[in-house]
Structures are given as C-alpha cells and as structure tokens.
C-alpha cells in the first residue's frame, strides 16, 4: 500500500489534556504498519513510482497511432519493447514514461473489455469478469527473487471457470502467446490425473490428437530432442517413470507429465490486426476440450466414477 505521509504530532501526552477541553480536530489516526506485500496490493490508479521523486523530462503519451477500443496498437508494443531493455526497466525510467504506460494499460484493458464477452459466449464456464479482475499487474514481486527487475516485460491476463487461473494470455513484442492447461498441480491433483490416465487414456489422447489441435500445438507425441510440443516438453516433466509405474507402460509419455499445458505463439503482425481478439477466441475454442477434460481428470478420482455408475 502507498506509504502514508508523516505528520507532526503534539508532544503533550493524552493524560495531560484537560477532560473539559473540546478538541478542535479529531485525534489523528494511527498509521498502519507497512505491508511488505505492497506491490501486490497497489490501488488501481496508484503505482509504486509514486513513492519516488525523479528529476527529468516527462515523456507524454503518443497522440498518433491510436486504435479503436478492442485493438492493440504499435504504440503499446513499442512501450513494452522499451521496457524490456535493462537500461529502461527501472523506477526512474518508468516514472518519466508513466503517461505512455497509462495509455498502453488503458488500451490493454479496452482489448480485454471486448475479448472477455466473446470468450464467455464461446465457453460458458468462463465468467464475464471485468478486466481488473483478470489482469496481472506489471509490477514484479522481487522480495524472494535474485532478479530485482521491478517490472514485467508484458501485459497479461488469466481466465478460467474460477476467475483467475486457467487460460493465460501474455503480449509483448516477439513473444505474444496463449497458454492453457494445468501447471504444477497439487499432489492429490497429479495423483488423480495419473490414475485417470492409467484407467483410460483415450479421452486425453483423442483431444490432443485432433487435427485442429495438432495444427495449433504440434504433433501429439514427445519431441525427440525434448522440446516443447503439444502437452509434452514442459520444464517440470519427469525424465524417468513416476514411482510405482513401469518405464515400459504404454502411456508412460503421459504419466511423466506434471504440468499438462499447451502454448500457442502469435506474431506481432497478428497482434496488430483489427480482428485479433477473434483469433484469440478461435485458439481458445480449440483448446477448450483439453481444459474441460483436465478439470475433471485432476479433480475426480477414477474410483468416484465407478461409484457413480453403481
């Protein structure tokens, strides 16, 4: 939270004040203890650069190159490209360029205002939440990181049936993407997923091998060099069979997975198109069966299904 400004207080103790005296002002409120997680709780129109005084020329937001609500402009990609430079990703530069950031952020929120209803119409499990409920703040939490860079290099948001976690969209020059699936599931969730694979892998195999899915995310089998392809090749994938599973199991490729997720990249040219939000929805529609299936696979043990059938 924004640090409160210090105020002069009277040195006279409360006990020394006459009971008959009528104070002209209400007693000053005690200042709250500073919250270490201030970067995660900044007010909507408040940035951590408000805590700094910077000397320099303020860079005004561009007056040309603007686009209608629902589109991403070259101005926004240019700002993110600058922010990605080490010499620019600091509080001083950001403070001087804050008008540019605010315009880019406004454009990003307007894009989501147009996108979310389209996504909710395509997938009724996705609630039509306002942009402020799904965006990720640009300020990094650096308290436990060796990388003290204060700002992220992209604009991003997440959508799911619960609101935040699920489909992830991030936009930056040369690195815009949409990702969907389950990342680093809890122990019980991973156990449920593997049990469901061992019981019946066909539903998952059918989803990830569908022609439209393969066209976007690649062939439905591990890459020979371990690169990311389809649901395979994520950083936390096991190199050996999980405990209690034979290395010769016919579905060992699926059982080695921890995160079960796919990523689709967008070129800058695609991002700048007037109908880019429709392209994002098209990709989400292709990945929707995977997300719905995984929601069931990680939350429902196979034995529960048997009990329901009985």
Per-residue pLDDT reduced to its tens digit, 79-112 = 999 999 999 999 999 999 999 999 999 999 999 9
pLDDT at 5: 45
Average pLDDT score over residue span 167-174: 90
Among residues 98, 101, 105, 88, the alpha carbon closest in space to that of 57 is found at: 98
* In-domain check, residue 259: yes
Q: Is residue 66 part of a domain?
A: no
Q: Would you state the pLDDT for residue 51?
A: 60
Task: Identify the domain containing residue 200 by its residue range.
Answer: 174-310
Residues 6+ apart with CB under 8 A from 272: 71, 72, 73, 74, 77
Q: What is the pTM of this model?
A: 0.78
Residue 215 domain-assigned?
Answer: yes
The pLDDT value given to residue 137: 93
User: Is residue 173 pLDDT above 50, yes or no?
Assistant: yes
pLDDT tens digits, one per residue of 243-252: 999 999 999 9
Tokens 């002069």: give the residue.
8
Number of domains the chain is built from: 1
Is residue 198 situated within a structural domain?
A: yes
Tokens of residue 223, six digits: 């890459």
In a domain, 29, yes or no: no
**Residue 167 in domain:** no
Residue 105: strand, helix, or coil: helix
Residue at 208 is within a domain: yes
């Amino acid at each position: 939270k924004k640090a409160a400004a210090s105020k002069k207080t009277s040195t006279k103790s409360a006990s020394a004040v006459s009971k008959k005296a009528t104070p002209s002002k209400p007693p000053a409120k005690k200042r709250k203890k500073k919250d270490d997680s201030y970067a995660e709780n900044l007010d909507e129109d408040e940035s951590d650069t408000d805590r700094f005084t910077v000397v320099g020329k303020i860079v005004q937001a561009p007056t040309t190159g603007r686009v209608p609500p629902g589109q991403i402009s070259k101005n926004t990609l240019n700002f993110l490209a600058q922010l990605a430079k080490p010499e620019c990703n600091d509080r001083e530069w950001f403070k001087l360029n804050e008008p540019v950031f605010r315009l880019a952020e406004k454009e990003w929120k307007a894009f989501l205002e147009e996108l979310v209803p389209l996504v909710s119409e395509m997938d009724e499990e996705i609630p039509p939440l306002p942009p402020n409920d799904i965006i990720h703040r640009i300020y990094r939490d650096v308290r436990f990181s060796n990388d003290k860079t204060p700002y992220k290099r992209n604009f991003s948001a997440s959508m799911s049936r619960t609101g935040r976690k699920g489909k992830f969209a991030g936009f930056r020059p040369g690195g815009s993407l949409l990702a969907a699936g389950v990342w680093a599931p809890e122990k019980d969730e991973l156990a449920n997923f593997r049990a469901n694979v061992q019981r019946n892998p066909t539903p998952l195999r059918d989803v990830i091998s569908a022609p439209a899915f393969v066209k976007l995310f690649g062939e439905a089998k591990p890459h020979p060099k371990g690169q990311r392809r389809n649901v395979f090749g994520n950083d936390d994938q096991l190199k050996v069979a999980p405990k209690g599973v034979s290395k010769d199991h016919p579905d060992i490729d699926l059982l080695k997975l921890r995160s079960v997720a796919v990523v689709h990249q967008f070129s800058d040219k695609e991002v700048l198109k007037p109908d880019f939000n429709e392209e994002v929805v098209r990709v989400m529609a292709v990945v929707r069966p995977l997300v719905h299936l995984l929601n069931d696979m990680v939350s429902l043990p196979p034995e529960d299904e048997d009990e329901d059938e009985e």
